[in-house]
Amino acid sequence: MKQILIASVEDKPGVLNRVSSLFRRRNFNIESLAVGHSEVPGVSRMTIVTDEVEQLRRAIVRSNVEKLVNVIEVDDVTDLPCVVRETALIKVTADTTKRREVMDFAEMYRARIVDVANETLIVEITGESSKIDALIEVLTPIGISEIMRTGKIAMRRGAVAPRTNGATA
């Protein structure tokens, strides 16, 4: 199981660079990193997925990220109840004869067709990474020309919220 960290960071220039520089310097491997604004102005939130498995190593990764001056708070949610999602855009090479097949698969996986051109379709899917992997697998024989994935984003279930919630940065 991959380690999942949720970090609340100050929305300042260079913060993403500091986080990624830290991972490189400490020889931790980032599997994916997704970042965007949070509900608090001036605070961004990152979901960082690493391939660390050992508890002690995971604690060290967490404390290293938290030590960065611009990082407000880090939660290791690996073992906590969470909703974890990823979005992918998959461009399939399909002329009119194959379109039906792609659309059937999309429906089966609750994906959406978001673009149709003469030779291609773009399928958008949101879900657990394993579901995205499975859709990619069934579409591959038809012909995938491009894949774009966001990396995971995570949120704890229930009435728990990050400390930064409601605070001003």
User: Residues interacting with another protein, by CB under 8 A?
Assistant: 9-10, 13-14, 17-18, 21, 25, 56, 59-60, 63-64, 66-73, 164, 167, 169
Residue among 153, 99, 141 nearest 122 (CA): 99
Nearer to another protein, 63 or 145 (CB): 63
Nearer to another protein, 157 or 163 (CB): 163
Nearer to another protein, 14 or 158 (CB): 14
Q: What is the sign of the dihedral through the CA atoms of 5, 8, 9 and 11?
A: positive
Whole-number minimum distance, CB 69 to another protein, in Å? 4
Q: How far is CA 95 from the centre of its chain?
A: 31
- 46 has which bridge partners? 7, 35
For the record, the structure tokens of 66 come out as: 């938290």
Whole-number minimum distance, CB 26 to another protein, in Å? 9
Whole-number minimum distance, CB 27 to another protein, in Å? 12
Nearer to another protein, 61 or 132 (CB): 61
DSSP conformation letters of 83-121? EEEEEEEEEEE--HHHHHHHHHHHHHTT-EEEEE-SSEE
Reduce the DSSP state of residue 68 to 3 states and report it. coil
What b/e string do you get for 75-111 counting C-beta neighbours within 10 Å, with b at 16 or more? bbbbeeebebbbbbebbbebeeeebeebbebbeebeb
Whole-number minimum distance, CB 73 to another protein, in Å? 7
Nearer to another protein, 140 or 165 (CB): 165
**What's the count of helices (H) and strands (E) in the chain, helices before strands?**
4, 9
Whole-number minimum distance, CB 18 to another protein, in Å? 6
